[in-house]
Amino acid sequence: MSRMKTFYLETFGCQMNVVDSEQIVGIARQLDYVLVDSPDRADLIVLNTCTIRARAERKVYGHLGRFKPLKQQRPSLIVAVCGCVAQQEGRRMLEKTPHLDIVCGTHNLHLFADMLRRVQTRRERCAEVSFLDAGQRRRLFPERLPSDEVTRFVTVIQGCDNFCTYCIVPHVRGREVSRPSAEVLEEVRALMRQGVREITLVGQNVNSYGCKEGDEISFAALLRQINAVEGLERIRFMTSHPKDLSDELVACFGELEKLCKHIHLPVQAGANSVLRAMRRGYSREQYLDRIARLRQVCPEIRVTSDVIVGFPGETGADFEQTMDLLRQVRYAEIYTFLYSARPGTAAAELPDDTPATLKQERFDRMLALQEEITGNYHESDVGRVLPVLVEGSSRQGSGQLFGRTTWNRIVNFDGDAALIGHVVPVRLVRAFRNSHLGELA
């Protein structure tokens, strides 16, 4: 009797890769592979990769190195790389890594099954990394596997046209392509029938949804339509570009009762000279104005952000402007990154004379400031009773349930599993770094 074939999948990076990995699972299952949680005995190993910073890329090569002895022990093992590193490196990756069989780019998952068969039957190593055009966009938004979860991602737009000077995303994910709104709505309704209660609309830049497609509705209009879907409790979206945050979209936070009071609005830097060099398309003043408008229509909204420290040419005064902006905005949370030069981007050509130790110093100071601000939010929330959408059993195995507030903050509390999928009032009793402890109110 033939043994069931097994596959091991590791996913790096952002929400787009999470959605793609789901598709990879579907493809492997159709070819009779079952998912296992260790690479040691797998027949197929897939890495779905990220290249946003040099460290992420190095991690992929590090992981691949670990699979080399496995391949020596079992030459029938198939090793595949998908995602952004695959797209960036292409065929070169096969040359660099003799034990690698498949390189499948970000627009090529529809070819993955065929590539697997080619390796299985002919031991033919292959790389596919060509971009699709808008006419083939169906392939970029394939049908999803059914879900048994409370909250799900739904892709609305792929790619990015912004070419911020530091960013490799437009180079590895291609141009913006929006998904037809009718398809998005259909998927949301299908998810409701499966028991999903919260959806997060995802894309590199959801705010420019529909902009290129002359006949498509705006992102705000899409949100209004989704808000009307019966059974849905909550809507989130990410990521938003500040320059495309329209008044119409801002107004949604005051109008749509299902839209969570949270927006991730990456600022990247607080000094106009740096924003210009990054080609972000907004000034510090314009950004602050959008934050003010958001808070006007929705006083309780909480904002999170991404910040890059040590962009080429960032002076001490520029950095202080970013610190000052953090104090003004009072983000609920920020994700701070040390600038990393990426091949093929415009910023990679800029001279960079800030010493690494100085960048690290700035980075540490920023972390300390934000920790204080974030801590203040968390402490002042203790004692409040907040609606929590219950997502499942707590991951710490404590027998508790966990869910999230409208601000996307995790709350653990005691309760019956029958509450999963429902919004319940929870009193926050204690704040930890990554979650609150609560009790049913």
Region of residue 101 (left: phi > 0; alpha: psi -120 to 50; beta: else): alpha
The answer on whether 104 is annotated among ligand-binding residues is: no
Picked from ligand 5AD, ligand SF4, none, the partner binding residue 406 (CB below 5 to 8 A depending on kind) is none
The site that binds ligand SF4 (CB under 6 A) totals a number of residues, namely: 10
C-beta of 105 vs 266, nearer to ligand 5AD: 266
Measured CA to CA, the distance from residue 283 to residue 265 in angstroms comes to 14
164 is in an annotated binding site: yes
Span from 29-37, 185-193, 332-340, 403-411 in contact with ligand 5AD (CB under 6 A): 332-340
Site track 251-270 with ligand 5AD (rule: CB under 6 A), x = hit: ---------------x-x--
- Answer with the entry of ligand SF4, ligand 5AD, none that 241 interacts with (C-beta below 5 to 8 A by kind): ligand SF4
Q: Which is nearer to ligand 5AD, 125 or 342 (CB)?
A: 342
Nearer to ligand 5AD, 272 or 393 (CB): 272
Q: Kindly indicate which of the ranges 137-145, 150-158, 166-174, 354-362 contains the residues binding ligand SF4, using the contact rule CB under 6 A.
A: 166-174
CB of 263 to ligand 5AD, least distance (A): 14
- Nearer to ligand 5AD by C-beta: 53 or 284? 53
Closest residue (Cβ) to ligand 5AD?
A: 306
> Does 17 sit near ligand SF4 (CB under 6 A)?
no
The least CB distance from residue 266 to ligand 5AD, in Å, is 4
**Does 277 interact with ligand SF4 (rule: CB under 6 A)?**
no
> Cβ 195 to ligand 5AD, closest distance in Å?
31
Backbone angles phi, psi at 102, to 5 degrees: -130, 130
- Binder among 81, 164, 235, 388 for ligand SF4 (CB under 6 A): 164
Any contact of residue 406 with ligand 5AD (CB under 6 A)?
A: no
Position among 152, 197, 236, 241 found at the interface with ligand SF4 (CB under 6 A) = 241
Residue 5, C-beta contacts closer than 8 angstroms, at least 6 positions apart: 31, 32, 33, 34, 43, 44
Closest residue to ligand SF4, based on beta-carbon distance: 167
Residues annotated as binding site for [4Fe-4S] cluster? 14, 50, 84, 160, 164, 167
The footprint of ligand 5AD (CB under 6 A) covers: 52-53, 166-167, 266, 268, 306, 308, 337, 339-340, 342
